Every structure is written in structure tokens, then in C-alpha cells.
Structure 1
Amino acid sequence: MIVYTVGTFDLLHVGHLALLEYCKTLGNIVAVGVASDDVVNSYKPQVPVIPLEQRIEMLRALECVDIVIPYHELEYVSGCKEVKADIFVIGEDWGDKQHNLDVEAYLKSEGKKIIQVSYNPLTSSSMIKQNVMAQTHRSK
């Protein structure tokens, strides 16, 4: 079984690791799609702190990850097709935006599964960035 998940994976942290290790329990191959800076900037006000190539390199170094591919458009069907995903793992904030509906329709038509996972509220790249900014302002 091939498990595919996507994300930015900026400021790699234990929440990311927990997600990827969970993916490994679902199948024998874990493929990770990494959002390019342009993709991230299309839905967030700032681009990642860590450049795309470095985020890819860090993910490739993880024992629980087998395949890492960047994606340059906000759509997931092509990634699912490229890695021949059997299971697509997504976060709990999955919404009804067109790119989400498109991959859901594709996976359903192929008899594949989507699994939603809960985020750990104690770990997020955004929270880490906020903490760094707060500490910087306190030290001035």
C-alpha cells in the first residue's frame, strides 16, 4: 500500500514526525508531497522560512519517508497519480475548496481511501514562528 500525504513541512517538528510515522503504519511506502513557496503563498500571507529544496532534503532523511516530491500547483490529483497512492492522508482542517473536492472525487472513483488526522495543537510551524517573534520582541 502506498500512502501519500502533503504539506509545507516548514520548520520540521515533532507534529510532522508523528504524522509521517502514522502514515508508515498505514502502508509500506510513504510518499510526501511538499508545497512550493508559490503554492504556500497562494493561501498564506508569507512563504516558508526554510527553502523548498532544504525541506525536501530533510524529509528524504527521515526513515519513515520513502518518496518526496514537490508540488507547484494547489492540486493533489497529479501527485496521487504520480505515486499511485492507495491512501491519501490529510489534516482535520480539510475543507470544501475545489482542489480538495477534486482529489476526493478522483480517489473515490479509483476506490482509494482518504484518512483525516487530528493536528497536535502544541506543535505547528506557525506557533513556532510566533514564539520566535515573541522572544525576539521581549529581548529588545
Structure 2
Amino acid sequence: MIVYTVGTFDLLHVGHLALLKFCKTLGDTVIVGVASDSVVNSYKPNVPVIPLDQRREMLEALDCVSQVQPYYELEYVTACMDLNVDIFVIGEDWGKKPHNLAVEDYLKSQGKQVIQIHYNPRTSSTQIKRNVMSQIHRKQQVELAS
């Protein structure tokens, strides 16, 4: 079974690890689609902190990941076709945008599975970034008060 999941995977954390380890329980091959900076910038206000080549390298180092495939367009059907995906794992924030619905429709028409998971509440890249900014802000306030 070929399992495919996609994401930004910026600031790799335990939530990412939980997702990828779960994917490994579903099949023998786990392929991770990692969004390019331009793709991320098309739906988020900021590009990732970690460059694509480094995010890719970190994912490739994980035993639970068989292959990492960057993607440069917000479209998933082509990769699912090319990779002959059996199971596509998505997060709870997947939504109903046209590119999401297109891949769901394609996979269902092929008798493939789409599994939606809940995120690990322990951490998120966004929360990590907020924590860093908060620490910087506190340090600046202390320096100004000195």
C-alpha cells in the first residue's frame, strides 16, 4: 500500500512525527508531498522559516518516510495518479477548496481511501513561531527597561 500525505513541514515537530508514524501504520510506502515556498505563500501570509531543501532533507532522514516529493502547484491529483496512491492522509483543516475536492473526487472514483486525522494538540509550527516571537518581544522589553 502506498500512503501519501502533504504539508509544509516547517519547523518539524512532534505533531509532524505523529502524522508520519501514523501514515507508516497504514502501508509499507509513505510518500510525503512537501509544499514549495511559493505554494505556501499562495494560501498563507508568510513563506516557511525553513527552506524547502532543508525541510525535504529532514523528512528524508525519518525512518517512517520512504520518499519526499516537493510540489510546486496547489494541485494533488497529478501526484496521486503518478504515484499510484492507495491512501491519502489529510489533516483536520483540509477544507473544501476546489483543489482539495478534486483530489478527493479522483481518489474516490478510483476506489482509493482518503483518511482525515486530528492534529496532535501538543504543538504546531504556528505556535512555535508565536512562542519565539513572544520571547523576543519580552527580551526587547527587558532591554528597554534596563
Segments of 5+ residues of structure 2 without an aligned counterpart are: 141-146
CA distance in 2 between counterparts of 1:50 and 1:94 reads 22
Distance in 2 of aligned mates of 1:81 and 1:123: 32
| CA displacement, residues 7-46 of structure 1 (integer Å, 9 cap, x when unaligned) | 0000000000000000000000000000000000000000
Aligned ranges for residues 124-135 of structure 1 at < 5 Å? 124-135=124-135
Matches of 2:57 and 2:7, distance apart in 1: 14
Amino acid paired to 1:100: N
- TM-score w.r.t. length of structure 2: 0.94
The separation in 2 between residues aligned to 1:82 and 1:64, in whole angstroms, is 21
* Contact 2:31 2:68 survives alignment (8 Å): yes
1:87: how far off? 0.1
Q: Larger Rg: 1 or 2?
A: 2
Q: In structure 1, give the amino acid aligned to 2:63.
A: E
Question: Deviation of residue 121 (structure 1)?
Answer: 2.5
Aligned to 2:31: 31
1:1-140 equivalent positions in 2, closer than 5 A? 1-140=1-140
> What amino acid is aligned across from residue 41 of structure 1 in structure 2?
N
Q: Which runs of 5+ in 1 are unaligned?
A: none
TM-score of the pair, normalised by structure 1: 0.98
Q: Measure the CA separation in 2 of the matches of 1:46 and 1:94.
A: 19
Higher helix share: 2
Asked whether the equivalents of residues 18 and 120 of structure 2 are also in contact (C-alpha less than 8 Å), the reply is: no
SS in 2 for 1:139: helix
Q: Give the drift of 1:122.
A: 2.5
Deviation at 1:114, TM superposition (A): 0.2
Cα offsets for 1:79-101 (capped at 9, x unmatched): 11222110000001121100011
Deviates more, 1:64-73 or 1:79-88: 79-88
Aligned-residue CA RMSD in angstroms?
A: 0.6
The answer on whether the counterparts of 2:77 and 2:103 sit within 8 Å (CA) in structure 1 is: yes
The percentage of aligned residue pairs carrying the same residue is: 72
